[in-house]
Homo-oligomer: A and B are copies of this chain.
């Protein structure tokens, strides 16, 4: 980790330059630091979800509503870039998050390709990067409380097919788990049980809409399904959303879900090993739906901004962002995230 100087870039037609306001430090960045993602072009500028002020653009650039993006506006953008809308996955399967052309700001671009990460005073938005303006009512900090976790959780909640009053178990109390908690609460869930640790994150879960929390440092893996069943009328949760990154969670999660319920897998972002299941008891006999969920697209980012704006006063969102760090302390930010000393850290390159 080191701070480098780059020249201010020239803008291609259709490109936009942002003055960075905030950029997220997320679990993926910890994985990046430890080299756990394949084919990463080190060195790179981390920071995939960011918010910035438009400095300038080369020509007229519009958002998804067709409105021109103007200098001075505060915006975010979809970190995923280059979805081709020309391949079989994009056009036939309509599974654009599996498009092989996708590249991601702060993850798959090397530093020699430009200012293509958010931990930087400026961010270069290539032509075609999808920009979403932040409404004035939504502060950059509240937006960063959602960060990449909010659209990720929204994708998972969409996949869950939640109906009014459905009970929900959320496995994990990291940013994605917390956002899944808030979003299922907003979507009219009945009982919500969050299983995670440590205690401050479980406090946050309660503040974001959980009815019950289960501290996994206190309650063992074999007990957790039983606890969830006890809290959901003896049957298990209608819907369980896995947001842990821990393979063993899959086994527990299937077992805490009621027969004919739905299990969404969104947390297994990196290869952390295997898990053993019993397909008779855990799948077939339960008549379960298991829906795995990869990545986000513009719809999740766009809708997430609208949802957060509308409900900005419903929850103490800002408390999810424990601390802002200047660029020079990015290494410390990563350590604090890795050691769970903070729920979420953000880089503010202008302090």
Q: Which residues of A come within 8 Å of B, CB atoms? A: 62, 64-66, 83, 85-89, 91-95, 97-98, 128, 130, 154, 157-158, 163-165, 183, 186-188, 190, 233, 235, 247, 250, 258-260, 265-281, 283-295, 297-299, 302-303, 306-307, 310
Complex: how many Å from CA A87 to CA B62?
9
Determine whether the beta carbon of A89 is less than 8 Å from that of B292: no
A283 touches B307 (CB 8 A): no
Which B residues touch A294, using CB under 8 A?
259, 284-287
Closest 7 CB pairs of A and B: A95-B260, A290-B290, A268-B284, A287-B294, A283-B292, A85-B85, A268-B279
- Once the chains are docked, how many angstroms separate the CA of A190 from the CA of B65? 17
**Chain B residues, Cβ within 8 Å of A290:** 283, 288-292
Task: Given contact pairs A65-B88, A164-B183, enumerate 7 new A-B contacts (beta carbons under 8 Å).
Answer: A64-B88, A66-B87, A265-B284, A268-B280, A268-B283, A275-B277, A289-B290
Q: Write out the residue numbers on chain B whose beta carbons fall within 8 Å of the beta carbon of A268.
A: 279-280, 283-285
CA distance A273 to B279 in the complex (A): 8
Point out the residues of chain B lying under 8 angstroms from A183, CB to CB: 164, 188
Choose from B265, B288, B302 the contact partner of A91 (Cβ within 8 Å): B302
Task: State whether A64 touches B92 (Cβ < 8 A).
Answer: yes
* Distance (whole angstroms) from the CB of A223 to the closest CB of chain B: 20
Number of copies: 4
Give the residues in chain B near A95, CB-CB below 8 Å: 259-260, 287
Q: Are A86 and B130 in contact (CB under 8 A)?
A: yes
Q: Is the CB of B280 within 8 A of A269?
A: yes
The answer to whether A292 and B298 touch (CB under 8 A), given A157-B164, A277-B274, is no
Nearest-Cβ distance from residue A256 to partner chain B, whole angstroms: 16
Cα distance, A64 to B95, chains bound together (Å): 14
Interchain CB contact (< 8 A) of A279 among B97, B247, B283, B291? B247
Q: Smallest CB–CB gap between A188 and chain B, Å? A: 4
Please measure, in the bound complex, the distance between the C-alpha atom of A95 and the C-alpha atom of B295, giving whole angstroms: 20
Give min CB distance, A44 to chain B, whole Å. 21
Closest CB in chain B relative to A90 CB, distance in Å: 8
The 28 listed contacts between A and B (C-beta, < 8 Å) are A64-B87, A86-B128, A88-B235, A89-B259, A91-B298, A93-B259, A93-B260, A98-B259, A158-B163, A158-B164, A164-B183, A164-B186, A164-B303, A165-B303, A165-B306, A183-B188, A187-B187, A190-B307, A265-B283, A268-B279, A268-B284, A272-B280, A273-B278, A275-B279, A283-B292, A284-B292, A289-B291, A290-B291
Contact B310 A190 (CB under 8 A): yes
Q: How far, in whole Å, are A93 and B187 apart by their CA atoms in the complex?
A: 19
